[in-house]
């Protein structure tokens, strides 16, 4: 059941390309280009926020995305992808900053 949920989420995220999952203790981690931007815990999806915390996506939105394909609303897909993309850019920015700091620390 969890694997089916993860596959649906990955299908929805497919326009982002190169999204990978890694199983961790009790949850699944969403990665893209080496940056962790989300988590899947049971039937919940959490995305990184600008407060450096993972925020749970609205349950009603997830339920609608899991509904019959002929009843899906494009705006739900767009909202979900927007939040995922925003989380990835936040995560990528943090990765770049950490990487740059390591380079500076090694040079000194």
Q: Are 57 and 13 in contact (CB under 8 A)?
A: no
Q: 0.75 cut: is pTM over it?
A: yes
pLDDT in tens, 63-108: 999 888 778 889 999 999 999 999 999 998 876 555 555 555 565 4
Calculated CA dihedral for residues 108, 92, 19, 74, nearest 10 degrees = 180
Q: What fold does the segment set 2-107 form as a domain? A: Yope Regulator; Chain: A, (3.30.1460)
Residue-wise pLDDT tens digits, 24-42: 888 999 999 989 999 999 9
Q: Which residues contact 34 (CB under 8 A, 6 or more apart)?
A: 95
């Amino acid at each position: 059941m969890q694997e089916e949920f993860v596959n649906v989420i990955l299908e929805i995220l497919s326009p982002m390309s190169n999204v990978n999952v890694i199983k961790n203790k009790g949850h699944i981690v969403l990665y893209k280009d080496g940056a962790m931007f989300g988590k899947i815990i049971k039937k919940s999806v959490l995305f990184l926020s600008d407060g450096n915390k993972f925020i749970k996506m609205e349950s009603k939105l997830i339920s609608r995305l899991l509904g019959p394909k002929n009843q899906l609303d494009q705006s739900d897909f767009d909202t979900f992808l927007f939040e995922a993309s925003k989380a990835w850019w936040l995560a990528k920015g943090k990765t770049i900053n950490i990487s740059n700091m390591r380079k500076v620390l090694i040079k000194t």
